[in-house]
Structure 1
């Protein structure tokens, strides 16, 4: 009989063998309306389940069922040890990926790197994320832990915050361009991208925990995995939109006022129409009512397209300013993608209501 005192290598082998097993069960009907099926004994023993213990049954998008022990979802803390390589870009990508994967504790070992290098990497990681704090240090290792939990900021609130930041960035960019502001003003606008990155990483971490089955969609305010996937893509598109506004702000700041007047006017009009469009898309998302948004596509979106065409013709004779058109074109594209995703939410909600009815 298997117990949890057996050597780890045998337990791992047993888990692998069990994960590849197929079990057939006959459906039993109780009281004429309740369908019952028994669980494999080995699976129940592996999870240390006893009589009256609870399991969670999820209906997946393909209508198959996923059964998980309740205790495996709760009080589950993952720890990971990472050895610094000394290549900063590589080390940061790896550590951020561990955060996104849902690790609650990361032990950062200096390896052959200096203590100063390790300290700077840890500081950058903490600045890039929400919830990570240093809980233990030694000569060769830093231990950072997620102390905020994964529900301190709701996913819906994160998306609305990013929307508001994006709207203000576009408005402030327009004001800076109109007043021929200096490089520092543009730089301040661009630096707001770091806050959006922190919010996005936090949201993606929560989404990943849902996708991996650690938490349920209802734990973060959703009714199905399909709905979670739509919101995941909305947040991703918002992040990319902010990236392009930040890039544009930096590049305009580098021009230091050296901008053709006709290009300035065309760019101002383009940014202002995008700011109006962004505001309407944000309101559409926030309403959650599934209301008709044909006016948004007939008016605001068409205004953006007209401004975009004017900008495109202007840039054709001034190729040095192509970066302006390119970034604003991409902003429009991502905002339109979000409109389509909001439409997806509307029909998913309708279908779920129909299924529940």
Structure 2
């Protein structure tokens, strides 16, 4: 079908024109006689045809067979992979005998913690069934991305406060927040994979073009990596109790706040599809990266440990700025045609 199929325009009655639609397309979407399709005119010479509304998501199920040498981590990776691919029902079944209670506990708790909408709907001695109960239309990709962004920004702010105050409790909260960011990341990737396979769902998910899916995937990865760097900064509070000089710490917090502002600008440009906003964000991010290199100049350090700690945190801040710049670049890639139209 991608190569194009020719159909003849036919006339029925006195004024109605009809064109048959490809049988394979009908079968792939599970359409039946009397189902309604929507036709949307696109430009002068094209019409898009799509199912009017598919409320019930197609059920996809898979079974993971657990052997005597299977680890909980390995099985969990398989579960996450199937979740990302859009499977709704995932069975974990023992090849022989029973599933070990500790194994079952780890798998069930991890699935609930990391996979949005996942619930254990069956649990027996030799089988666990995990079902994804979240409908694809309940939470749009943009709204999920906004929540992921807010969590990530809070993590970075709190990680630096924890470091400044040597607050171990706050640092642990930041580290725990990384799982929540991962939940949104997994959810968005799952939605993008479903959209690629079911193009008619794009609008319901808040997307305008299929080729934007890859850009969104890379943006999500960049935000996830920012959260990882915030976690690394928080871990420094737990691993190294020596405080950083207050003046250096304040400078790092100031630069970090600038980075978060540019991150907001990059994502706002994404939500508005604003090419000019993306270009401005890229310029600001690159300026911050250049200034970060001078962060440690002019300061004396009480010990080699203090110097290492500052360098470690400064390096994480620089990498965060680079990810923010990457997000701006991706948004520009999605919106560059806007600039061309403005100049035409």
1:188-207 to structure 2, matched below 5 A, reads 188-207=173-192
Alignment of 1:341 with 2:330, yes or no, is yes
Q: Provide TM-score, normalisation by structure 1.
A: 0.74
1:37 Cα deviation (Å)? 6.4
1:167 Cα deviation (Å)? 2.0
- The SS at the match of 1:233 is helix
Alignment of 1:222 with 2:207, yes or no, is yes
Alignment of 1:269 with 2:251, yes or no, is yes
Corresponding residue for residue 331 of structure 1: 320
Corresponding residue for residue 7 of structure 1: none
- The SS at the match of 2:62 is strand
1:1-357 to structure 2, matched below 5 A, reads 25-28=5-8, 38=20, 53=35, 74-85=56-67, 86-111=70-95, 113-178=99-164, 180-213=165-198, 216-256=201-241, 258-259=242-243, 261=245, 265-286=247-268, 288=272, 290=274, 292-293=276-277, 296=281, 301-311=286-296, 318=304, 320-321=308-309, 322-347=311-336
Q: Is the 8 A contact 2:266 2:324 kept in 1?
A: no
- 1:194-243 per-residue CA deviation (whole Å, 9 max, x = no partner) reads 11011111111111101222752112111111223322221121011111
Mark the runs of 5 or more structure 2 residues left unpaired by the alignment.
Answer: none
Aligned residues: 323
Change in Cα spacing, 1:298 to 1:108, as seen in structure 2 (3 Å) is closer
Q: Is the 8 A contact 2:160 2:234 kept in 1?
A: no
Q: Is the 8 A contact 1:277 1:301 kept in 2?
A: no
Q: Is the 8 A contact 1:173 1:189 kept in 2?
A: yes
Change in Cα spacing, 1:68 to 1:161, as seen in structure 2 (3 Å) is closer
- 1:71-127 per-residue CA deviation (whole Å, 9 max, x = no partner) reads 999541011111234312211111111111111111122445413322321121111
Mark the runs of 5 or more structure 1 residues left unpaired by the alignment.
Answer: 1-18
Change in Cα spacing, 1:137 to 1:56, as seen in structure 2 (3 Å) is farther
Corresponding residue for residue 8 of structure 1: none
- 1:43-78 per-residue CA deviation (whole Å, 9 max, x = no partner) reads 76788766555568999xxxx999887899954101
Q: Is the 8 A contact 2:172 2:234 kept in 1?
A: yes
Q: Provide TM-score, normalisation by structure 2.
A: 0.77
Aligned equivalents of 1:77, 1:181: Cα separation in 2: 49
1:141 Cα deviation (Å)? 1.1
1:160 Cα deviation (Å)? 1.4
Computed over aligned residues only, the root mean square deviation of the Cα atoms, in angstroms, reads 4.0
- The SS at the match of 1:81 is strand
1:290 Cα deviation (Å)? 1.5
